[in-house]
Amino acid sequence: MEERANNLIKEKDLVMLYLDDRRQFLVQVVSGLRVSTDHGDLNLSQIIGQPFGFVGKTHLGRDFYCLKPSTADLMMKVKRTTTIVYPKDLGYLLLETSVGPGSRVIELGTGSGALTLVLAKLIAPEGVVYSYDRRDDFIENAKRNLNHVGYAKNVEFTCADVALKGFNQKDVDAVFIDVPEPWDIVPKAYEALKGGHHLVSWSPNVEQVKRTIDALEAHSFKCIRAKEIIEREMLVRLQGVRPRERGITHTAYLIRAQKIIVPQ
């Protein structure tokens, strides 16, 4: 009974209003708010007190579905000021670290806050995300994105050029690097990481991968691997099932490595 009550949509909940694949709206529920679409207006008053999964109607009589947003939905709907990390890549890289509830992790750069959001969700309620970016305006946008989904509490932002200044923390559980020149950050990450723990990095170009791995080898990281995750969406239809012709064909090459404490 309690579980059913917990599944009811309340004011301020985040709901994915889904009409079809081209019409999906991530909204925070406010009584009386109307969302306009080319299939009619959705009045959010009608969904308050209904369970997730409820089927509503636009004022033109079209069905819409009240879905619980996935973590990938939250990431993909951030307001973007930069490119963001994609779910297919982050899913793999998170499993390549030991990050979980209570972890202290560093992220560079904050960008639009898509990665920050997922890390903040994962380390809650006791952990901390230390998020760095050299652009104040990007940090402000990321803060708004995190506040919107309610995950700002466990994040500490710092505006600094890390290639010059390094990180302020020691003994963190993981370092996530998403900047154009990761090789400059490798020595700073070594200083900040716990022994045996993980550095992960994203780079769109092969030349960046080579330079980053050279730096990792020179700074006592082991178990270094580079991978690319290729995702293909399937078209499942009466006339035949096959991969879609178009899609995101390349995002980034992914690097993972672990810090070794060199014997004196």
- Interaction site with ligand SAM (CB under 6 A): 82-85, 108-109, 111-115, 132-135, 138, 161-163, 178-179
Nearer Cβ to ligand SAM (43/82): 82
Quote the least distance from Cβ 29 to ligand SAM, whole Å. Answer: 25
Inter-residue long-range contacts of 210-219, CB under 8 Å, 24+ positions, other chains counted: 211/182, 211/183, 212/182, 212/183, 212/186, 212/255, 213/255, 214/183, 215/182, 215/183, 215/186, 215/187, 216/186, 216/255, 216/257, 218/186, 219/186, 219/187, 219/190
Quote the least distance from Cβ 176 to ligand SAM, whole Å. Answer: 8
Nearer Cβ to ligand SAM (58/251): 251
Quote the least distance from Cβ 89 to ligand SAM, whole Å. Answer: 10
Nearer Cβ to ligand SAM (163/260): 163
Nearer Cβ to ligand SAM (10/227): 227
Q: How far apart are CA 20 and CA 22, in angstroms?
A: 5
Strands, E assignment, 61-208: 63-67, 104-108, 128-133, 155-159, 172-177, 193-203
Nearer Cβ to ligand SAM (64/151): 151
Quote the least distance from Cβ 259 to ligand SAM, whole Å. Answer: 20
| 3-state SS class at 103 | coil
Closest CA to 85 of 58, 48, 117: 117
Quote the least distance from Cβ 251 to ligand SAM, whole Å. Answer: 11
